[in-house]
Amino acid sequence: MKITGIESFRLDMPLTIPYTIAYETITSTSNVILKLHTDKGITGWGCAAPDAEVTGENAEQVLQLTNDFLPEMLSGASPYMLARHMDWLRNSFPSSSSFAAMVDMALHDLMARKLGIPLYQMLGGYREEIETSITIGIMPLKECMDQAAYYLKNGFRILKLKGGLNLEEDVEKVIKIREKLGSEFRLRFDANQGYTWEESVEFTKRTSNAEIEILEQPTSRKKEDLLGEVTNRVDIPVMADESLKTLKDAFRLASNELIDMVNIKIMKVGGILEAQHIASVAKAAGLDIMIGSIDECSMGIAAGLHFALSRPAIKYADLDGHLDLLDDPFSGIFTLKGGMLRPGRHPGLGKITL
């Protein structure tokens, strides 16, 4: 099978409701969609979700790289030479992780479609479903409570609360949510680098009765020693997100025992192949693994889902980055019911009718 044609286009999607995290407010997102055509009549799909903070790119840069370099790189090439393609791309564009993820995704999709099986089976096929959390951004207490109650009523059993701007408000929200809504759901908290290590420790002490399951990236990625300080001082698992963008990051964080968990995002690390390497390092270090997402269309979420289903070491998922997007043409590529994500039975990433 040889690649014979390359298409790409930009996909702009507003959010139904803007949301706020510790360092920004998000109102819309722009993805880039890639189609790889082959001499066998099979089309492979990929997407990039560039983000200035997470990946250091924007949609225009991804489109330019796609138009300027992919035809020469992939025309006439075999998708089965994925490791070679991705090595060249990573060495040539080390700061373009969502671009790399898009190409990696499309190549994986081609191979699985040629085999006639869903991608997660080609990657290992450990499980057939995984439960995801649902995220609540930073908002006033009443709105936060109402949204939490709404999600629980609609079947979600894991809430992830964003914070990091105001310790007092964060503590109040966590305590009130647990007091008013009960104990029949799991609660996670993501400070998005907004706390000092002292605030992180104080937060966990004051919310100890709320049984928070995971504390995600409480301190700045620029001061990793503080992340380790929190890990050593609190009783709940501390997870790295913004601090983990490369395989070297994973090795450094693990070897210095700075964290308990890692959040692997396909867009952030540059694709499924690199995510596999990072997951192996995490497994060897005894770190729990979550597969996360950013604001990306359902195709991007599908890639994270298929990877999450492929490995026994992957126990957690935060794959809800598509839920508030309008005009997502790939909705329906998988199912989400009662918080459980399940892929379709179609080959590759799933059935795409665009």
Hunting for tokens 């995002």 — which residue is that? 265
For position 253, what pLDDT does the model report? 98
Decide: helix, strand or coil at residue 158: strand
CB 201 within 8 A of CB 234: yes
Hunting for tokens 């790939």 — which residue is that? 330
Q: Residue 10 above 80 pLDDT?
A: yes
Which CATH number is 90's domain given?
A: 3.30.390.10
Task: Kindly report the number of other CB atoms within 10 A of residue 60's CB atom.
Answer: 12
Residues 172 and 282 in one domain: yes
The question of whether 190 is a catalytic residue gets the answer yes
For position 149, what pLDDT does the model report? 97
Residues 79 and 133 in one domain: no
Residues 126 and 66 in one domain: no
Average pLDDT, stretch 299-320? 98
Closest CA to 350 of 330, 333, 336, 331: 333
The question of whether 216 is a catalytic residue gets the answer yes
How far is Cα 233 from Cα 289, in angstroms, rounded to an integer?
21
Catalytic residue among 57, 104, 160, 162: 162
How far is Cα 160 from Cα 152, in angstroms, rounded to an integer?
12
Q: Residue 24 above 80 pLDDT?
A: no
Going by pLDDT thresholds of 50, 70 and 90, the confidence category of residue 26 is confident
End position of a domain, from candidates 67, 92, 116: 116
Average pLDDT, stretch 153-160? 97
Write down the mean pLDDT value for the chain: 96
CB 230 within 8 A of CB 200: yes
Structure tokens at 209: 């009765």
Structure tokens at 10: 């930009």
> What is the percent of the chain with per-residue pLDDT over 70, rounded to a whole number?
100
The question of whether 265 is a catalytic residue gets the answer yes
Average pLDDT, stretch 315-329? 95
Structure tokens at 112: 């699985």
Catalytic residue among 57, 104, 241, 328: 241
How far is Cα 38 from Cα 116, in angstroms, rounded to an integer?
15
Residues 149 and 271 in one domain: yes
Catalytic residue among 170, 190, 242, 318: 190
Tens digit of each residue's pLDDT (9 = 90 or more) over 29-74: 999 999 999 999 999 999 999 999 899 999 999 999 999 999 999 9
Q: What angle do CA 311, 313, 318 make, to 5 degrees?
A: 85
Range of the domain at 92: 3-116
For position 305, what pLDDT does the model report? 98
For position 23, what pLDDT does the model report? 78
Catalytic residue among 160, 245, 265, 268: 265
Average pLDDT, stretch 95-113? 98
The question of whether 142 is a catalytic residue gets the answer no
Residues 97 and 198 in one domain: no
Tens digit of each residue's pLDDT (9 = 90 or more) over 227-255: 999 999 999 999 999 999 999 999 999 99
> What is the percent of the chain with per-residue pLDDT over 90, rounded to a whole number?
95
Q: For helices 272-285 and 97-115, what crossing angle results, to 10°?
A: 100
Residues 84 and 165 in one domain: no
Residues 106 and 192 in one domain: no
> In degrees rounded to 5, what are phi and psi of residue 41?
80, 10
Task: Kindly report the number of other CB atoms within 10 A of residue 7's CB atom.
Answer: 11
Q: Residue 258 above 90 pLDDT?
A: yes
Catalytic residue among 51, 170, 216, 318: 216
Please name every residue paired with 295 in a beta bridge, in sequence order, or none if there are none. none
Going by pLDDT thresholds of 50, 70 and 90, the confidence category of residue 165 is very high
Number of domains in the chain: 2
* Pairing verdict, β 186-190 and 212-216: parallel
Average pLDDT, stretch 78-106? 97
For position 241, what pLDDT does the model report? 97
For position 21, what pLDDT does the model report? 87
CB 240 within 8 A of CB 227: yes
For position 27, what pLDDT does the model report? 86
Sheet order of strands, 334-337 included: 130-131, 340-343, 334-337
Q: What is the pTM of this model?
A: 0.96
For position 264, what pLDDT does the model report? 98
Closest CA to 239 of 247, 250, 199: 250
Tens digit of each residue's pLDDT (9 = 90 or more) over 175-204: 999 999 999 999 999 999 999 999 999 999
CB 36 within 8 A of CB 302: no
> CB neighbours of 307 closer than 8 A, spacing ≥ 6?
120, 123, 266, 272, 275, 276, 291, 314
Please name every residue paired with 3 in a beta bridge, in sequence order, or none if there are none. 38
Structure tokens at 155: 């079947």
How far is Cα 137 from Cα 26, in angstroms, rounded to an integer?
10
Residues 262 and 173 in one domain: yes
Identity of the amino acid at 348 = G
Average pLDDT, stretch 273-287? 98
Residues 247 and 304 in one domain: yes
Going by pLDDT thresholds of 50, 70 and 90, the confidence category of residue 20 is confident
The question of whether 223 is a catalytic residue gets the answer no
Asked if residue 349 belongs to a domain, the reply is no
Residues 130 and 102 in one domain: no
Identity of the amino acid at 113 = R
